[in-house]
Structure 1
């Protein structure tokens, strides 16, 4: 999956991908209220050391076993040629390390303004190290290396490309598609009878429609909707999805309704109009985290559901050639009917 990064091995790409994850985790930790956000200082030092270690392995730097941070810094900096962009940050990097030691071993809290300064140093140092040691931009390393399903990766990449051109609605729509496929694929492959997933709790036949003249039908349909929602939340909780983050994602991302025609993707319904970059970034992080977590704990049971949806059916823009041809025939038929109707009027 790292073919677009010449000279970087798969294991190196995965290592750099984890470093990108760590940087995002730091940003999330910094949003916590003081003094809880002081925990971010540990994450900052961890990612700096992880990057020095990755670059050190790459350039074969001679680093003593269990070396102190200053020794690690100097050994790697010397091996990459003493680049000013790295050596010039040595004092700031030592200050970061001292702040981490003060908090970890002595409980010294770090003021919010100082945390922000250390965060800037961390971001700059990590990116400079990757550029110098690997000859690439850290942003060129995919964060999707640990997402196993190729169609899920494709949907997330489509979301990322839409985000780059500021089409946030389309970006969130494809994040929804990626999430839905991730969950359904995980659950559908865990069936005993081939019809129900072991994570389903909705009673068999609960989707049947009921109506009568006494108003009981409305009550029954309302109960059905409640059971469906309960089934969904229970399923997500059972497989380890963070329901708090899911509630946020579910509120801002468009919903999709599967269509009965297998030749087209789902119908998209936008419920939240004023989406922002913050909504996208939080949703992207949640969807990728979910896909990676499920891939790490995945397994199969005896069989899979026989009626599972084709992955293309999750793509909101998917239209099969058969479906398009049927649409063309329908349009031609309507055109002929209109022509006949006009002839009859004349």
Structure 2
């Protein structure tokens, strides 16, 4: 008789598996040498899935990779997964890296395996498993879930809008409990934002150096932004791409909370091309950033008197 795990445990474990799967997919898209390491991620992902299957059936005895198909014959793609295992052995124990074709086959195999076996074993579609279950910030998770739903429904613009809002919520939430009493400035701020007070000294006349002051102001404010993002451990290269492909969002304070307003879709599409792959990138970027910040969080109110 099966000894089913708690549903919440299954959902969280599947979210971890999907996160690892996404890492493998991202690696597989890079240059061939780096892409080869995606085989290791896919194999680890498969092992975690098979272990969850066994635990859900009340069995925790260790078996080798291919023995799972003997114990649980309802599992599919046995020979394709054997080929994935062999590629992993070639990399890890023989130093032989796979070809780009083998990497693409492995990605396809892992995708098919998860999509076929998740509903069989856990009565849930793999596409419906949300990695947002790993995010502890509830308001951020809400917008990620909305973005995931938009993506699955083909509403690409709404997806990237909710991704941009999710990131804004993430930074705001993380900074909220890191402000000293009676201060609006977060401890994470790199100095103060520089305004346009220089105009009181030189006006707007370029002959008086107004252009130079303007350039210095913009540069220093950009440096503050770069330092803050990198200090938080967020990948700045991915951040710049995220900033480029997501629309401008205005924030309004309303009824004690924040209200967001994005530029109209037609304005956005005058200079941007909506692509599903970019939506997927944005969702993954938000989750990666949230998990990075969750690694070390604290409330200053628990430190200072």
Please classify the TM superposition score into its range, dividing by the shorter chain length: 0.7 to 0.9
1:252 equivalent in alignment to 2:245 = yes
Deviation of 1:8 (Å):
4.7
Unaligned 5+ runs, structure 1? 1-5, 305-346
CA distance in 2, matches of 1:202, 1:119: 45
1:254 CA drift (Å):
0.7
Contact 2:170 2:290 in 1 (8 A): yes
Which stretch has the larger CA shift, 245-254 or 26-35? 26-35
TM (norm. structure 1) is 0.75
Cα shift at 1:266 = 4.1
- Give the aligned partner of residue 168 of structure 1: 156
Aligned to 1:196: 185
Tell me by how many angstroms 1:274 deviates: 1.6
Match of 1:228 in 2: 221
Question: Which secondary structure does the structure 1 equivalent of 2:259 belong to?
Answer: coil
What CA distance in whole angstroms lies between the structure 2 residues aligned with 1:302 and 1:207?
Answer: 30
Name the stretch that deviates more: 250-259 or 178-187.
250-259
Unaligned runs of 5+ in 2: none
Q: Aligned Cα RMSD in Å?
A: 2.6
The Cα of 1:42 is off from its aligned counterpart by: 0.8
Larger CA Rg, structure 1 vs 2: 1
- Whether the aligned pair in 1 keeps the contact of 2:147 and 2:160 (CA below 8 Å) is yes
In structure 2, relative to structure 1, the CA distance for the partners of 1:226 and 1:143 (3 Å cut) is same
TM superposition shift of 1:162? 2.7
Aligned ranges for residues 252-291 of structure 1 at < 5 Å? Answer: 252-259=245-252, 262=254, 265-269=259-263, 270=268, 272-291=271-290
What is the deviation of 1:219?
4.1
Q: Which shows bigger deviation, 271-280 or 12-21?
A: 271-280
Task: Give CA deviations for 1:244-284 in whole Å, capped at 9, x if unaligned.
Answer: 1001000110122334x545734534484222112111111
- Residue aligning to 1:72: 68
Query: Mapping of 1:1-346 within 5 angstroms?
Result: 8-61=6-59, 63=61, 65=62, 67-75=63-71, 77=72, 82-83=73-74, 86=75, 89-193=77-181, 194-203=183-192, 206-207=194-195, 209-211=197-199, 212=203, 214-215=205-206, 216-259=209-252, 262=254, 265-269=259-263, 270=268, 272-302=271-301
Contact kept in structure 2, 1:202 and 1:227, CA below 8 Å: no
Q: How far apart, in 2, do the equivalents of 1:229 and 1:187 lie?
A: 19
SS at match of 2:132: coil
- Kindly state the Cα deviation for residue 104 of structure 1 after the two structures are TM-superposed: 0.3
The one-character-per-residue Cα deviations of 1:266-320 (angstroms, maximum 9, x if unpaired) are 453448422211211111110121112212322111389xxxxxxxxxxxxxxxx
Q: In 1, Cα distance between the equivalents of 2:34 and 2:45?
A: 19
In the comparison of the two structures, how many residue pairs are matched? Answer: 287
Question: Residues of 2 paired with 1:282 and 1:144: CA distance?
Answer: 14
* TM-score, with structure 2 as normaliser: 0.84
Distance 1:14 1:244, change over 3 A: same
C-alpha distance in structure 2 between counterparts of 1:121 and 1:213, whole Å: 62
Name the SS of the counterpart of 1:145 in structure 2.
Answer: helix
By how many angstroms is 1:221 displaced?
A: 4.1
Distance of aligned partners of 1:90 and 1:115 in 2 relative to their CA distance in 1, 3 Å threshold: same
